[in-house]
Amino acid sequence: MAPERIMLDVLRGAKRTPPPIWLMRQAGRYLPEYREMRKTAGSFLDLCYNPDFAVEVTLQPIRRFGFDASILFSDILVVPHALGRKLEFHEGRGPIMEPIDLSQVDRLDGEGFHEHLEPVYETVRRLRAELPAETTLLGFCGAPWTVATYMIAGHGTPDQAPARLATFRQPAEMTRLLDLVAEQSAEYLIRQIDAGADAVQIFDSWSGVLDEAAFETCCIEPVRKIVERVRAVHPDTPIIGFPKGAGSLYDSYRAKTGVTALGLDWSVPLSQARKLQAQGAVQGNLDPLRLVAGGRALEEGIDRILEGLGDGPLIFNLGHGITPQAPIAHVEAMIARVRNASGRG
């Protein structure tokens, strides 16, 4: 019999003790082997688009830690890049894009979209062949709202005011942009699943800056369209939605979008998380700085999540990505504590 992929079991509603564990940004700058590969690759986009590099950095945390899931190494902005938008990554500044004028949305060129992203699909195919059979392979994309914030501002901003203003001033044009990104992102996820991804995650890292009405328009509706389109082709593939900072708006997110599981940021109270877990699997939600701090802060954070959510379908993860400052010894301690959970009362 083939080894069981326990994360898929949990995504479909099963309880497992100890729970499966993986970390957002688990392939990254906290690992010395990643930093060496980054030097070899040159630019960050070379790292994303060269399957030799992308496969290697994706496998690094699996070799070192044996996580239950491996997530494709790429970036959410490869989708607008494949639509013809200029994209660069500057050390210390992050992604820089040529800001889009919303009157130009209809000029975005989807021709050659999949050819541009073929190296990503090749990376997924190779990962599925090279990963341990028991390791779940995750594909991903950025949610249309979060992708649009970078397309409009050209870079990250503290509160994404440029995109929010565009939502209020040019609602029709903003809807066209979100619809286009949703359509292309769905096709991108479908190709990742075709190539071997077992499940996919949709990252909405900037959903928390919106009011309730804008959240409905900019976050819920575009993600619902992605889920609907992916399910039409791959009805059984689990989809994780991660609307970071959504607060009370998490409560109806799963029902309105159709995602299988919810990724929870660290601000979500465990009392709310338990109610969300009654509807299906949840993922999260350790504060990444507890991992940096280590010691008692880390142990208490882990134990509260396991005690609060361990009786239902739980995927242990951080409430956002691991930071470069996280010591490897703390990651090892966290994994050991989670995997020894069955030995505690």
Three-class secondary structure assignment of 86-151: CEEEECCCEEEECCCCHHHHHHCCCCCHHHHHHHHHHHHHHHHHHCCCCCEEEEEEECHHHHHHHH
The number of folded domains in the chain is: 1
First to last CA, the chain: 32
29 in active site: yes
User: pLDDT tens digits, residue range 45-59?
Assistant: 999 999 999 999 999
Please state, for a pLDDT cut of 90, what percent of the chain lies above it: 92
Spot the catalytic one: 30, 34, 38, 188.
Answer: 38
pLDDT at 107: 87
Annotated catalytic residue 38: yes
- 75 flagged as catalytic: yes
CA angle 100-320-79, nearest 5°?
30
Given this model, what pLDDT does residue 213 score? 98
pLDDT band, very low/low/confident/very high, at 342 (cuts 50, 70, 90): low
Please, which contacts does 153-162 make with residues 24 or more away whose CB atoms are closer than 8 Å? 153/99, 154/96, 154/97, 154/98, 154/99, 155/93, 155/94, 155/95, 155/96, 155/97, 156/94, 156/95, 159/209, 160/206, 160/209, 162/99
Per-residue model confidence as pLDDT tens digits over 240-280? 999 999 999 999 999 999 999 999 999 999 999 999 999 99
DSSP letters for 319-337: SSPPPTT--HHHHHHHHHH
pLDDT at 344: 37
Q: What is the pLDDT of residue 345?
A: 34
Residue 1 domain-assigned?
no
Residue matched to tokens 């979008």: 257
Which residue has better confidence, 1 or 304?
304
The residue annotated as part of the active site, out of 68, 75, 265, 287, is: 75
- Reading the block at residue 262, the tokens are 């919810």
The yes-or-no answer on residue 224 being catalytic is no
The CATH number covering residue 261 comes to: 3.20.20.210
Residues in Cβ contact with 323 at an 8 Å cutoff, skipping those fewer than 6 apart: 30, 288, 289, 291, 292
Q: Which amino acid is at 210?
A: L
Q: Which of 5, 25, 126, 164 is catalytic?
A: 25
pLDDT digits (tens, 9 = 90+) for 125-171: 999 999 999 999 999 999 999 999 999 999 989 999 999 999 999 99
The active-site residue out of 12, 16, 29, 229 is 29
Active-site option among 49, 121, 150, 250: 150
The reply to whether 194 falls in a domain is: yes
Do 262 and 240 form a contact (C-beta atoms < 8 A)?
A: yes
Quick: pLDDT tens for 206-247. Answer: 999 999 999 999 999 999 999 999 999 999 999 999 999 999
| 156 belongs to a structural domain | yes
CA pair distance 134, 2, nearest whole angstrom = 8
Q: What is the pLDDT of residue 343?
A: 46
Domain residues for 276? 6-343
Q: pLDDT grade, residue 110 (50/70/90)?
A: confident
pLDDT in tens, 170-198: 999 999 999 999 999 999 999 999 999 99
User: Which whole number is the average pLDDT over 283-287?
Assistant: 97
Residue 1, amino acid = M
